[in-house]
A and B are shown apart, each in its own frame.
Chain A
């Protein structure tokens, strides 16, 4: 769906959609490939559910679930054969929309003149199959960060404008999930072209699929399936509702933006700094973290140079480097920057929270630092009255 299109222009519930089996899922991937899309979806690789190009629906993680905890990710087999009964894996869609490494332009010295040439990359047209509601929101957040201001990031915009989003509602949240706290799931919000809910029960393994855009509706019309029956719809909705009650984590009941702004001097930052390795894993797996650095390289002739853009992390000591040293030298200040930005100042900069509650930062932290636990500790500190003693900053 184009970022220029009002996500609400096509009513998501315009039709009751179809109910289809695994054959329908196979047809969906074939239809997408037939329409020229590069289909990206979840698949099992290297003991994890990763996002990769799919040649057929057989590559979906049928029968695989995940066990998640702080600092821990394990695959486990599921007897029900479900494809989407697993929470977020280590990657997010930003790997495709906001790639980790992009050449922006080249510079050549030609007879004493500097010739600067734009990189002419023609991005694939992606179909993202299996976008979780939290990740759907994450894409909307990156849309705003990278294309919503005075400057549009042309790399992101070029990849995003042609992307087709096929959401899957969540029925199996992980122990590290807290999308309910962030208001992003487990039901899918706006912005998808198609949305599916997976149902496995005594009546069989099936997908309830609905359109959310004109293009989604056209694709829907090409799929084998039957008109959605009330029983399947009801079972699907009940599965999503039940998922909301099975979130593994919650954020404290507080205005997180105010909490972050009011606790910049809290002793908890020293506590978390004692555990944080400043490795930056949380920023790499976060579906909204967008920071980049630039790298200028030359070839051996010395007459050809290139400008590359790479993912960067606010945990890197060089991230805040100024002549004279880094602004944020301590790990305390760097963890605080990440968390207060994510939950607090993101509102000031981009009009929403930067956190979608996917839990990836908790899972992939090598020491198991849990953003919900840190927020709760800060909240407890403010409520204990300790913050009244010299916390004014």
Chain B
């Protein structure tokens, strides 16, 4: 009755380096399995003795059949997770939060826009659309990164080019980069956008999502057709710790995926 259910042990089935500081880890249950995740939902991942962090699933079914999370080593816990090797064990709980509303996109063109590691929670969206091409209209994926070295899933992005329209840009090009340079919104002009029949899924740094959403609205998309995945500090994922508030929203409960119409005003208030 008064027992907090601990996470379930999951074993690292495989890892894959994505960039110099980012790695994907595929997790398989040691015993009991969590309920299945929807695209956009997140897990709390516990590194033994270090702590727990919220991370959205970056693939619902990896090459070993497990759940994949892409981790960038930025803090103590994420660094511990980044260093995991096959055979290591973590604690996993979830799925938590709202997923991307893919039902709203049925019969629509799907526009996926990612900044940096923001592509991670969007990868299951791309996969879902590729899995059911008849259910959706055209698929376009726009990816921005700081430098070519910060691009995640490079090979996989290339594999989406048929049938999807894929555009990639970087802020700072390096030697050997022959692609686009500039912020991700500059790629919008390359698309033949049909605003009245497009659903956009956006994830990246908050400032990038704000500018992207504004650019989409300026091109005629309705704000409720733009979904964003927001990030705040989270400790419990169950709406009880209070850390993930954004004004009226508890992002672990009301998010992380929200319609831009619900947050456009909130994102304009500094330090909310």
Q: Are A296 and B247 in contact (CB under 8 A)?
A: no
Contact of A345 among B3, B91, B247 (CB under 8 A): B247
Q: Mark out the residues of chain B between 1 and 52 whose CB falls within 8 Å of any chain A CB in the assembled complex.
A: 1-9, 30, 46, 48-52
Distance, CA A341 to CA B250, complexed state (A): 11
Contact of A328 among B30, B265, B271 (CB under 8 A): B271
A290 within 8 A of B: yes
A327 within 8 A of B: yes
B99 nearest CB across to chain A (Å): 14
Q: Are A345 and B248 in contact (CB under 8 A)?
A: yes
A361 nearest CB across to chain B (Å): 16
Nearest 8 CB-CB pairs, A to B?
A: A158-B2, A348-B248, A291-B242, A333-B271, A151-B238, A105-B6, A116-B6, A305-B49
B253 within 8 A of A: yes
Q: Are A114 and B48 in contact (CB under 8 A)?
A: yes
- Say yes or no: A291-B4 contact (C-beta < 8 A), given A115-B9, A319-B233, A393-B265: no
Q: Are A154 and B1 in contact (CB under 8 A)?
A: yes
Q: Mark A147-184, 1 if CB is under 8 A from B, else 0.
A: 00111011101110100000000000000000000000
14 example contacts (A-B, Cβ-Cβ < 8 A) are as follows A104-B4, A114-B91, A115-B9, A117-B6, A149-B239, A150-B238, A151-B238, A151-B239, A155-B4, A292-B236, A322-B231, A323-B74, A327-B232, A349-B249
- Say yes or no: A294-B236 contact (C-beta < 8 A), given A114-B89, A115-B9, A393-B265: yes
Q: Are A116 and B271 in contact (CB under 8 A)?
A: no
Distance, CA A354 to CA B50, complexed state (A): 33
Q: Report chain B residues within 8 Å CB of A104.
A: 4, 6
Q: Report chain A residues within 8 Å CB of B3.
A: 118-120, 154, 158
B75 within 8 A of A: yes
Q: Are B232 and A320 in contact (CB under 8 A)?
A: yes
Q: Are A154 and B233 in contact (CB under 8 A)?
A: no
Distance, CA A264 to CA B268, complexed state (A): 11
- Say yes or no: A119-B271 contact (C-beta < 8 A), given A151-B238, A320-B233: no
Q: Mark out the residues of chain A between 98 and 152 whose CB falls within 8 Å of any chain B CB in the assembled complex.
A: 104-107, 109, 112-123, 145-146, 149-151
Q: Report chain B residues within 8 Å CB of A153.
A: 238, 240
Q: Number of A interface residues at 8 Å Cβ cutoff, please give it.
A: 63
- Do most interface residues of chain B lie in helix, strand or loop, or is the interface mixed? loop
Contact of A118 among B6, B232, B241, B265 (CB under 8 A): B6
Q: Mark A267-311, 1 if CB is under 8 A from B, else 0.
A: 000000000000000000000001111101110001001010100
B272 within 8 A of A: yes
B226 nearest CB across to chain A (Å): 20
Distance, CA A322 to CA B232, complexed state (A): 7
Q: Are B235 and A107 in contact (CB under 8 A)?
A: no
Q: Report chain A residues within 8 Å CB of B46.
A: 107, 296
Q: Are A320 and B240 in contact (CB under 8 A)?
A: no
Q: Are A151 and B240 in contact (CB under 8 A)?
A: yes
Distance, CA A296 to CA B49, complexed state (A): 6
Distance, CA A117 to CA B9, complexed state (A): 11
B243 within 8 A of A: yes
B270 within 8 A of A: yes
Q: A154-B4, A328-B272 provided; 18 other pairs, C-beta below 8 A?
A: A109-B48, A265-B269, A290-B240, A291-B241, A291-B243, A292-B241, A294-B236, A296-B49, A320-B243, A322-B233, A333-B271, A341-B245, A345-B245, A345-B247, A348-B249, A349-B245, A349-B249, A393-B268
- Say yes or no: A149-B253 contact (C-beta < 8 A), given A123-B2, A348-B248: yes
Distance, CA A3 to CA B251, complexed state (A): 26
Distance, CA A109 to CA B49, complexed state (A): 10
Chain A, Cβ-Cβ closest to B89: A114
Q: Report chain B residues within 8 Å CB of A106.
A: 6
Q: Are A292 and B6 in contact (CB under 8 A)?
A: no
Which of A114, A115, A297, A340 has most B Cβ within 10 Å?
A114
B90 within 8 A of A: yes
A321 within 8 A of B: yes
Q: Report chain A residues within 8 Å CB of B242.
A: 290-292, 312, 314
Q: Are B245 and A337 in contact (CB under 8 A)?
A: yes
A147 nearest CB across to chain B (Å): 10
Chain A, Cβ-Cβ closest to B247: A345
